[in-house]
A and B are shown apart, each in its own frame.
Chain A
Amino acid sequence: MAFNPAPKQLSTIKGIVFVAALLPFLRVAWLVLRQVPVDPLAFITHETGDWALYLLCITLAVTPVRRLSGWNWLLKLRRMFGLFTFFYAFLHFMAFFWFDHFFDVAAMLRDVGKRPFILVGFTAFVLLIPLAATSTNAMIRRLGGKRWQWLHRLIYLIAPLAVLHFWWMKAAKNNLAQPALFATIVFVLLGMRVYWSRLKARATVRGQKKAPVA
């Protein structure tokens, strides 16, 4: 069933998704202001990290879900998911920079350099910055579609780095169920792309009609 929302319906959907993606942030703010978490700083760090990962997976899921369902309009939500990924990753980074290092850049960089799991997470965050910065229509035009697309394929690097960061952190306590779940999801979402691009390559070699573009 190819559901195709009218423009007005689409903007309603966008509004709902926006509020839904903001809810985790509001929940964290609400609980912290009521002083419910015993260690609010750890709570903020964990929650924002979790949600950055959830939204990263959702962003990556847009293309496969679109292909499988034929809901091409999902593409119109992808930018918002991507920007919310950056929003939570930014809060997560700020939690580290503020609470762990009290805005001491030198101390933060020392820590990043010394500890591989932080280095990996930090790299993932830094790589997200150009993607967020080039998310506007004007930037897409300025870069040109092809170059923009290449730049945004950085997400294929960012996602495994983010999962590795989470894995490495949890490995301290052998508590790997959650990171393994994320690793599986990211592996499947990226694997589908590899599979489809292989199909396409084979189809092109045979000189047949091109497979749909991912």
Chain B
Amino acid sequence: MLIKSSRDGANPPLSSEITPREVYEERRKFIARMAVGAAAGSALWEMANREAFAQAPAAQKLAAKANPTFSTTEPRTAFKDATNYNNYYEFGLDKGDPAENAHTLRPRPWTVSIEGEVKKPMRLDIDSLVKLAPLEERVYRLRCVEGWSMVIPWVGYSLSNLIKHVEPTGNAKYVEFTTLADPKQMPGLRSGVLDWPYVEGLRLDEAMHPLALLTVGMYGQVLPNQNGAPVRVVVPWKYGFKSAKSIVRIRFTRDQPKTAWNVSAPSEYGFYSNVNPKVDHPRWSQASERRIGEDGFFKKKRETLMFNGYPEVASLYAGMDLKKFF
């Protein structure tokens, strides 16, 4: 039975039409059990439901003021989807692995060290980092290099607030972000897929652009572990992997950082990685994308927009050949 609800958000259902969660979950379970029949063993049942969602623990709310200037009005991706479909290789290679394994991450206590070409290097604990500037909610499009996209309400503040706070020296040309790499908390580190720790970077002027968001929450609550708790960056005009998660170090450098994916496969993942429908990935087109939860079987993939639909960043790349600097 396929019942698609309207997801455009313009016609919210009446509260009387909404089946309470417990009721529909029980109903689903009941129907499912009936269908499987008494004969099937519980092992088979587990196997069939391998893709089932992990249960999220109760989350901590996070107050933030909506910032409509930087927000899209497009329908938001369901929280359930945004938190159960993740690339976070430190917790496993499959999309469902992070939701399943990231409970081992301890997002508190947490400190972020700020180093390199700055006048005020410092170690900030997560609470002072959160309080450094007023929190805003911004609804951004997210485009993954794999060809899917989501719309996510993030909570944070412009990264420029932090950058101004630590006062980069005249030598600072780039900002490098390093993700935690603790094998005790991150089972995925056993795989040799990338050289850990995960490193990403931006040019200083990219990092100073107001759209670049230092992010501590999503959907009005603190970041779930699988989405990069307790602090990550979100750079909406670049492919998702540019937005480093669970950051422990921010370093200001003279030279372009050696970023994880660029080191791993330089011909496939450039340093810039701006969303660009005209520059294909060597093995697939980037001209279109599928919006998770919205574009289904009977809908053509949507066209990918230059800079993921954030033309205001174009001036950062004036005069650059974006085919060469992909």
Contact = CB atoms under 8 A, between A and B. Distances in A.
Given A38-B81, A100-B301, A33 B1 contact: yes
B30 interface: no
Given A115-B284, A169-B283, A172-B265, A39 B148 contact: yes
Contacts of A146: none
Contacts, number: 69
Contact of B283 (A40, A41, A42, A117): A117
A11 B113 CA distance: 69
Interface in A40-98: 40-43, 98
A27 B48 contact: yes
A100 B148 CA distance: 12
A102 B300 contact: yes
A206 interface: no
A114 B265 CA distance: 20
A37 interface: yes
Interface string B278-299: 0011111100001011001100
B194 A174 contact: yes
A33 B48 contact: no
B285 A39 contact: no
B2 interface: yes
Given A174-B265, A175-B193, A41 B290 contact: yes
Interface string B46-79: 0011011100000000000000000000000000
B218 to A, nearest CB: 16
A171 B28 CA distance: 39
* Interface size grouping (class) on chain B: 35 or more
A157 interface: no
Contacts of A43: 51
A173 B282 CA distance: 12
Nearest to B293: A38
Q: Say which size band chain A's interface belongs to.
A: 20 to 34
Nearest to A111: B285
B28 A34 contact: yes
A174 B81 contact: no
A99 B301 CA distance: 8
Per DSSP, chain B at the interface is: loop
A126 interface: no
Contacts of A115: 282-285
A36 B300 CA distance: 21
A168 interface: yes
A138 to B, nearest CB: 36
B268 interface: yes
B233 to A, nearest CB: 21
B2 A172 contact: no
B84 interface: yes
Given A172-B283, A174-B265, A39 B300 contact: no
A38 B285 contact: no
Interface string A97-116: 01110100000000100111
A30 interface: yes
Contacts of B191: 175
Top 6 A-B pairs, shortest CB-CB distance: A38-B85, A102-B300, A38-B81, A174-B193, A36-B51, A117-B283
7 contacts: A27-B48, A33-B1, A36-B52, A38-B84, A102-B300, A115-B284, A174-B192
